[in-house]
Amino acid sequence: MDAFRIWAAMPLARRAKRVLKRAPRLPLRPLVGLTGGASLVVSLCLAGAVAAEISTARFADPTTRYQHGVLGDAVEWGALKVGVKGKTITFTLPQSLVFEDIAPRLVDVDGASGPEIVVVESHQDKGARLAVWNEGGRVASTPFIGRRNRWLAPIGAADLDGDGHVEIAYVDRPHLAKTLRVWRFKDGNLSEVASEPGFSNHQIGWDYIQGGIRDCGLGHEMIVASGDWQNVMAVRFEAGQLQSKTLSRYSPKAITQAMSCPK
């Protein structure tokens, strides 16, 4: 595996059990300069400079304010807790947003010191978007899909085409549009570099995402299902184009086997 970390949108990666409960809240103060319109709130429990490597990230503040249920229940997340050198920074979203996701993903998207955090955020009226965070807040995001209760399922992140920049891939509306999109992170921004319909990696009600990105010695491949869930597909991003091939008939076991680089 190369220096660019392929995160885990791994087969059968289970969402943590979600229990809606009341928890004590820490003192809050506004964080200035983040994108996303409404003000974001951050609680700092970090002494000294913030520019330190992220070690952990987890969602917090379960909420039912966005009742989509695509991941099997009506509970999403209102906050992100980031661990930095044993301390915790808590980012609390405005009421218009939730984290509609399985878990935060730690991945080095800028090639600098330490990982960033890749998550799915959803807006009350505009649906989902993919966002990159660091210990200072939200760094970059894709546009919202544009309609409430429209979601995207991350595939993975890696330097897919060997150009020295990390690409992040996801399936846009895996139950409807079924479009694989690839976004490049460069100079602190995300830009779409490829898209192709006809793929999926999630079914309504699943609390996990199937497939991911593998490197079996010949470069990175995205492993997903075909849009009709008949086949397991391997998709490469080369020379600005997405190239796909069928690996086998679809089954959960076949997806898992594909990710393990069978000989």
Three-state DSSP at 256 gives helix
**Model confidence band, residue 25 (pLDDT cutoffs 50, 70, 90):** very low
171: exposed, middle or buried (C-beta count within 10 Å: 0-12, 13-18, 19+)? Answer: buried
Q: Is the dihedral of CA 216, 217, 222, 228 positive or negative?
A: negative
Nearest to 58 by CA among 90, 10, 34, 35: 90
Quick one: average pLDDT of 161-181? 98
Coil, helix or strand for 258? Answer: helix
Query: Residue 76 pLDDT > 80, yes or no?
Result: yes
Query: Does the structure show a pLDDT above 70 at 94?
Result: yes
Q: What pTM was computed for the model?
A: 0.84
The amino acid at residue 260 is S
CA dihedral sign of residues 173, 175, 176, 180: positive
User: Once rounded to an integer, what is the mean pLDDT over residues 82-110?
Assistant: 97
Q: Which amino acid is at 230?
A: Q
Quick: pLDDT tens for 196-246. 999 999 999 999 999 999 999 999 999 999 999 999 999 999 999 999 999
- CATH number for the domain whose boundaries are 54-201: 2.40.128
pLDDT of residue 237: 98
pLDDT band at 41 (very low <50, low <70, confident <90, very high): low
Domain boundaries, the chain: 54-201
